[in-house]
Chains A and B, each alone.
Chain A
């Protein structure tokens, strides 16, 4: 009997669990989504504290390390295993045949990696001046992702680029989201003429190819603008197209939810409209919106990267992944220095992570579907 009771309760748990509990449970089952979520959390932490995590100043030119390749982190040398990782110093030589600069590992110069070391001065969030870096070597620079044509550290530059590229996605989606909610909400709530007009406007905007439109608009941004202004200009340009999709989602879901049986059921039970909205509409609605927002962010990031890559978006001295990729435009340079493509890899990983997360959230958002 005891056994049976437990069985029933386990089954009944499914029926008494709140919607959020069910969503969390279902989300946890989605391994790729967990992976994507974790990756994004790490990326965003690195981006927020990019000054701290970068070993070097991003504008400092190390003239002896022009196009230096990425250094490998070692744990073993001829003496065996070391708990403290280290890199070998780079020695520059001239290739006798091609007369190109080449770098080889100088096995005699072992540079141990220390944590919380003092290095270049930087200002965290433009507020606190400090020179503590998460990691670094004591003498000389370290190039985990190699160096660019001016001998600047690409690892640090990638981290700083992440700050712009990742945040532009969030800010852009936030603006699109607000616009989408207001316009989609009006369209779905009032219906009729308002709905007709907004739907036609959205249809119209959607049929304009996005990248040419973005290019045309951002080319019109004054060249003299400082990076911060350009940043917001680009966010707004990206949002001009971005809100359309979200507004459609909001409207569609509103129309659908209005007709749902459970809303009617709650009404019949005498629930107040406040309660209907918070207990019944919001969970169903919000979860759905979160999914769509998650899947909209990669588009924004892609938009910024594409524009900056073409030189129509963010411009040096600002760094974003797209700006960094400008250096990779020439195939010949790229063939010699393939690490210039690392920012592209970062973009791909980010987009993949957002898609995995979005997929997991989508499954979780519909917890009753098996």
Chain B
């Protein structure tokens, strides 16, 4: 085991985070909800992994399970979350979710920003207080050093008058500024992985573009890996190196961004791509939409989860067995009977 670890660690190409066969289930009164069901992916060093899917497909739960903050009654019931951290290999899935080890990783090695900048900051503490808290927790710094660093971070995320803003409360800031403050907090401890859970969804379109631009800049400056969760394929195209498409808690397609956009294989991915309006397309043609809605992943019938909505569905095959993720070409995996 030791030997194996060393060889892996010596290899510069090994990813920062490897998620293998992750399963997160919610035990509800109505039954077991399989929010994340057998999902695997890697996040390379200084790479951006985009996770795409409709609401309720398990993207956010995947992110939460990496930090082990899945809300009750959810539980990580299987799989490994391997973090390669300066010479050490830690399986996050094995850690006690409220223990010291995972707390040392949260906010330090792996940080997260959320969809709702309106509610993700405490209403009764100043921005500075909340950012400094993270700094003081993970870095060996005095109060005044932490404040200096916080000011610097606020400046870096493009807040124009940090000396004033640092002592303001979240309700005094606009949505865009709050999200910048969240980013400042997430980056203040120099993380190796930043998880962004739909960070621009709740913002105005112009602000979205600014935040996205900011994140790209900071990613290259800080040299961290990013896991970017969104339902917006346009954002993915702009930022991601690799893409994981999720549907009903399962990974349906996993490939490099180029492959996903130029050679999509799964009918769901194809459907998603077709549903984006394009400039230059002939006017008055209807946008194609995927029919139906995502069912709740509760007591699902046998077969492929996309069966009822799929154009290519084959009765007798797709609704009988469960497909599995297979590698079709190098680095391009898909979860569909069409490619058996």
A and B touch in their complex, CB below 8 angstroms: yes
Interface residues of A (CB under 8 A from B): 3-4, 7-8, 11
A-B contact pairs, 8 of them (CB 8 A): A3-B301, A4-B301, A4-B308, A7-B295, A7-B301, A8-B295, A11-B295, A11-B296
Which residues does B use to contact A, with CB under 8 Å? Answer: 295-296, 301, 308
Chain B residues within 8 Å of A11, by CB: 295-296
Tell me the complex Cα distance, A315–B13, Å: 91
CA distance A14 to B229 in the complex (A): 30
CA distance A4 to B301 in the complex (A): 8
5 closest pairs, A vs B, by CB?
A: A4-B301, A3-B301, A4-B308, A11-B296, A7-B301
Report the number of A-B residue pairs with Cβ-Cβ less than 8 Å.
8
Closest-by-CB residue of A relative to B308 is A4
Measured in the bound complex, the distance between the Cα atoms of B296 and A354 in whole Å is 37
Q: Chain A residues with Cβ under 8 A from B301's Cβ?
A: 3-4, 7
A8 CB contacts on chain B under 8 angstroms: 295
CB distance from B158 to the nearest CB of A (A): 33
Given contacts A7-B295, A8-B295, 6 further A-B contacts (CB under 8 A): A3-B301, A4-B301, A4-B308, A7-B301, A11-B295, A11-B296
Write out the residue numbers on chain A whose beta carbons fall within 8 Å of the beta carbon of B296: 11
Instruction: Name the residue of chain B whose CB is nearest to the CB of A8.
Output: B295
Docked pose: A358 CA to B301 CA in angstroms: 40
Cα distance, A8 to B298, chains bound together (Å): 12
**CA A8 – CA B295 in complex, angstroms?**
9
CB distance from A28 to the nearest CB of B (A): 15
A144 to B296, CA, bound (A): 57
Instruction: Give the complex CA separation of A7 and B301 in angstroms.
Output: 10
- Report Cα–Cα, A11/B296, bound state, in Å: 9
Name the B residues within 8 Å of A3 (CB-CB): 301
The minimal Cβ–Cβ distance linking A335 to chain B, given in whole angstroms, is 49
Q: Give, as a whole number of angstroms, the nearest-CB distance from A15 to chain B.
A: 11
Closest chain A residue to B299, Cβ basis: A7
Residue of B nearest to A3 (CB): B301
Smallest CB–CB gap between B303 and chain A, Å?
10
CA distance A11 to B294 in the complex (A): 12
Compute how far the CA of A11 lies from the CA of B298 in the bound complex, rounded to whole angstroms: 11
Residue of A nearest to B315 (CB): A1
Give the Cβ gap from B73 to chain A, nearest Cβ, in Å.
13
The minimal Cβ–Cβ distance linking A152 to chain B, given in whole angstroms, is 52
B308: chain A residues within 8 A (beta carbon)? 4
Quote the shortest CB–CB distance from A31 to chain B (angstroms): 14
* A10 shortest CB reach to chain B, Å: 11
What is the distance, in angstroms, from B91's C-beta to the closest C-beta of chain A? 34
CA distance A209 to B291 in the complex (A): 62
Question: How far, in angstroms, from A4 to B319 measured CA to CA in the complex?
Answer: 11
Chain A residues, CB < 8 A from B295 = 7-8, 11
A332 to B159, CA, bound (A): 75
Could you tell me the distance in whole angstroms from the C-beta of B248 to the nearest C-beta in chain A? 14
* Residues of B with C-beta under 8 A to A7: 295, 301
**Given the complex of chains A and B, what is the CA–CA distance between A322 and B295 in angstroms?**
58
